[in-house]
Amino acid sequence: MALTAGTRFGPYEIAAQIGVGGMGEVYRARDQRLAREVAVKVLPSTFATDVERVQRFEQEARAAAALNHPNILAVHDIGTVSLTDGSMPYIVSELLEGETLAERFRGGQPLPIRKAVDYAVQIARGLTAAHEKGIVHRDLKPANVFITHDGRVKILDFGLAKLIEPDVALASASVLPTAPPATSPGVVLGTIGYMSPEQVRGKPADHRTDIFAFGTILYEMLAGRRAFEGETTADTLTAILKEDPADLPLAERHIPPALGRIVDRCLEKHPSARFQSASDLGFALDALSTQSGSTEALAGTTLSPSRRDRLAWAVTGVTSVALVGALSLAAFLYTTRQPIEDARTMQLSIALPEGWQLATGDIAGTARTPLVISPDGRRLAMIARRAGVQRAS
């Protein structure tokens, strides 16, 4: 039976039910001992006699409790509550305010690129922490990724978690299929649409299985649709095994090609072709997010040809002032001697606008070089011309 508001057990007092899933019912509760709000997940009494379900329920708690990471749901306590109609195992965890990615996807709209990359980086960090402890999630999907109101990502539900190297504390906990919506109990381990090819085939799964599932989530964040989805379960499973997802809308959504390549690598059919660790995946995403800031800034200031020409002619309208400024800058750079801090050889190339070229020969009646480099090699002044008109840059 469902717990009612006011029900007390141990230091916990139930406030209200906030969710129901394949692995239990979730309630908002008050921890009277520590004066804080918590989430209490209970296994309904109708399942309390099912040894396999109880073992999986306990395994979820132990797997999550072994992971102390800001991107993984924190577990505080585990126990059993005795009621008039029987006993129910429970897990106490931190209370989250926000929504799951599955709830956010209900509108069928993709996420902004920057936000998708931010969430992806946080998911990768959580997976890295789990994998370093030898724990594979095996049921990573949007419903198990929670986004708090302040944008923090929390990975939920380790009910299918598998230890790559079994720990003594978890050795007795069997790994069994979950049964939330869209999951086929007793046939495959995972959730249809987010499973890896090896899961579909019933083969052993390792950390690269989570990386494949991660790829399906990132694809959905960017495309606004599932990577693998057929009219029937069989169609979906066949797509996972044999088909590639539809191309991401790179041009339409201005998705960086490097991000598309990350998705493609995560979704490789063979585990050896994917990222070999969540750490490597996170590194690639971190590098992309770092570069995207500067790339977007440059993209935001790119000029159309006509606008660039107008700017060029505006500059030439004050040619004499610009020339004096450029040459004065060059003179200053040559007369200001600074110690060379870095003796490395540097190479660069300069792409001038179409129709422009470096000025050569006499300029204002004086022979000068069109390029001037500062003594420390960090600054450059140049003079260019177009259609007989000089331009200083």
Q: Which residues are catalytic?
A: 139
The set of residues, in sequence order, having a beta carbon less than 8 Å from that of 328 and lying 6+ positions away, is none
What is the torsion angle, in degrees rounded to the nearest 10, for the CA atoms of residue 225, residue 229, residue 231 and residue 237?
A: 180
Q: How far apart are CA 359 and CA 52, in angstroms?
A: 81
Residue where the block lists tokens 């590098």: 287
Give the three-state DSSP class for 323.
Answer: helix
Q: How far apart are CA 218 and CA 267, in angstroms?
A: 10
Residue where the block lists tokens 């004065």: 328
Q: Which amino acid is at 179?
A: A
- Kindly report the backbone phi and psi dihedral angles of residue 62, in degrees, each rounded to the nearest multiple of 5, phi listed first: -70, -40
Segment 324-331 long-range contacts (CB within 8 Å, at least 24 positions apart): 325/392, 326/381, 326/382, 326/383, 326/392, 326/393, 327/368, 327/381, 329/372, 329/381, 330/372, 330/381
The set of residues, in sequence order, having a beta carbon less than 8 Å from that of 283 and lying 6+ positions away, is none
DSSP-H helix ranges across the chain? 51-65, 101-104, 113-132, 197-200, 207-223, 233-242, 250-253, 257-266, 278-300, 305-316, 319-335
Give the three-state DSSP class for 257.
Answer: helix
Q: How far apart are CA 95 and CA 76, in angstroms?
A: 11
Give the three-state DSSP class for 357.
Answer: strand
The set of residues, in sequence order, having a beta carbon less than 8 Å from that of 316 and lying 6+ positions away, is 322, 386, 389, 390, 391
